Amino acid sequence: MTAAVLDETTDDAVDDVILIADGISKNYGGVHALSDVNFSAHRGKVNVLVGENGAGKSTLMKILSGSEQPTSGHILLNGTAVELSSPRVAQAHGIGIIHQELSLFENLSIAENMFAGREISRAHSWVDFAAENRRTAEVLERLGLNVKPTTLVADLPIGQQQLVEIGKALLEDVKILIMDEPTSALSNHEVDVLFSVMADLRKLNVTIIYISHKLDEFRRIGDYVTVFRDGRLVATEKMANTDTAWIVRQMVGRDPNSLFSRAEGTPGDLILEVRNLTAPGAVRPVVRNVSFNVRAGEVVGIYGLMGAGRTELMECLIGSRATIGGEVVINGKATKATVRSRMKAGLALVPEDRQRDGLVQAQSVMDNIVLSILDRLSRGGLLGSASQTRTAREQVDSLKIKIAGLRAEVTSLSGGNQQKVVLARALLTHPKLLLLDEPTRGIDVGAKSQIATIMADLARSGYGVLFISSELAEVMAMADRVLVMAKGTITAELAASEVTEEALVAASASDTILEELE
């Protein structure tokens, strides 16, 4: 399937090791973030690191890239001990890191971004743009990007921006490249491009350390896989000697088949009827003529690529995006297109971007949970602190949210627990239909499984659930019915029994069919 497989020899010969983390421990206060980790990175290979959030991967990467110092243990580079006292020192040793979030200046050109903070200057005063553009062009060519160095970063699609970020690391004559979840914002096609660049880098003998949550992705590209759990390195294996089930078992310490569960109930009454919903967009309608139903007790998945209009559809349903046509009927009643009336009618949305749309960051866990039902918790105009505490406590217990205390700031929680806080707030409004936009994005496998269980439980107790997912395995395992979207319309509707990966991928990419229709 990929170069990774072709490169593998059938015997278990161990490749040359470029970097060894020897007995690394890292304590924060009395907390052991890493305990006696012995990690080896193989030269010219893709070394994949997996593990649930908080397992210690990121801490190790911070140590390897010089932004954190280990409490004990040392690092060997090409057999000699090195002290990576700062990111600059690590860079000087040829270790580069690409963070999960892009750190580009959208208002500057590609070349200016690449040389930001280390401009090539003439006479120590003037920026040598010609030299910058020339070297940038070289890097872009290496990355297979056919764009001018003077192009504004803002004009690039997000996938190409990610490549520019990688290009920044390449400028440094990087020998070891650490990539922290670089694909979380990429479409399937862009992931392919990224992977072919990684394969090229591998040919150039660059060592890649790759952190990812996406099982199906890193199995394609990885040569070695290392699993972390609770601050310990639990297993390292050649990718070819593993299977998905093995990796998941190492990560969570239990059987993967129990990961996702499905309600398997018999659908009840119609809750939601969407008829010919259309929302305007800049170029073409972002949602066009969408019609579908959801029944009580049903879990319906929406699959599609990025930009297919899934999030926009959710926004139309909850009433936060203006529509130019169509009807949303909830429990047999037509509804006004405002958030308040839709919520009153029984919808609740758990948005995709928790930081931007979900959490009130300066506030506590409790404040965030009860935000949607303040009226219900107040008596004579005043909020009762006992009733708030009780309500929040019930949600924390029933959703198993891990917190230091109800008054802890919500930003101190891990991604999965933040997601559950937003979910708790939505559930408190007693919705009949829950809208979940990428409910498992950016959270670890254990939390994903819990969210899936919660969704199935909700369906069993009579809720309708409509969720968006970009992961094939997830949507196939969790949904009773799958709607596939492409270019703003629904291109396929598949029952659980007839869902296949091929059908989903084909329907999500059916550009040509749509073009013919136009």
Partner 1 sequence: MNVGSPAQPETTPSLAKPRQNMSAGQVALWLLRGRTLIVLVVLIIVFSLISGDYLTQSNIISMTKHVSVNAILAIGVTFVIITGGIDLSVGSIAGLASMVAGFLLFRGLPMFGGSLWFSVGLVILLALGVGAGVGAVNGIIVTRFGVAPFIATLGMLYVARGFAQIMSNGGTFPNLAGTAARGNQGFHILGVDSWLGLPVSVWIMFVVAVIAIVVTTRTPFGRRVFAVGGNERAAILSGISTGRILISVYVISGALAALAGMLLTSELAAAYPDTATTYELNAIAAAVLGGTSLSGGRGTIIGTVMGAFVIGFLSDGLVLIGVSTFWQSVVKGAVIILAVVTEQAQQRLQKNLASRAQAA
Q: How far is the CB of 336 from partner 1 (least distance, A)?
A: 13
Binding site for partner 1 (CB under 8 A): 28-31, 33, 318, 320, 339-340, 343-344, 349, 351, 356-364, 367, 371-372, 374-375, 377-378, 381-383, 404-409, 411-414, 425, 429
> Please, which residue, 202 or 425, has the CB nearer to partner 1?
425
Please list, in sequence order, all residues whose beta carbon lies within 8 angstroms of the beta carbon of residue 193, skipping any fewer than 6 positions away.
144, 159, 163
Q: Rounded to whole angstroms, how far apart are CA atoms 40 and 163?
A: 26
> Please, which residue, 52 or 471, has the CB nearer to partner 1?
52
Which residue reads 């659980």 in tokens?
496
Q: How far is the CB of 261 from partner 1 (least distance, A)?
A: 27
Q: Rounded to whole angstroms, how far apart are CA atoms 105 and 111?
A: 11
> Please, which residue, 116 or 404, has the CB nearer to partner 1?
404
- DSSP structural state of residue 407: T
Q: Rounded to whole angstroms, how far apart are CA atoms 484 and 502?
A: 12
Q: Rounded to whole angstroms, how far apart are CA atoms 17 and 24?
A: 17
Please list, in sequence order, all residues whose beta carbon lies within 8 angstroms of the beta carbon of residue 118, skipping any fewer than 6 positions away.
none
Q: How far is the CB of 421 from partner 1 (least distance, A)?
A: 11
CB 445 within 8 A of CB 252: yes
Q: How far is the CB of 404 from partner 1 (least distance, A)?
A: 5
Please list, in sequence order, all residues whose beta carbon lies within 8 angstroms of the beta carbon of residue 181, skipping any fewer than 6 positions away.
100, 211, 212, 213, 442
Please list, in sequence order, all residues whose beta carbon lies within 8 angstroms of the beta carbon of residue 141, skipping any fewer than 6 positions away.
none
User: Mind spelling out the 3-state secondary structure of 124-169?
Assistant: CCEECHHHHHHHHHHHHHHCCCCCCCCCEHHHCCHHHHHHHHHHHH
> Please, which residue, 31 or 283, has the CB nearer to partner 1?
31
> Please, which residue, 375 or 516, has the CB nearer to partner 1?
375
Which region holds residue 377: left if phi is over 0, alpha if psi is between -120 and 50, else beta? alpha
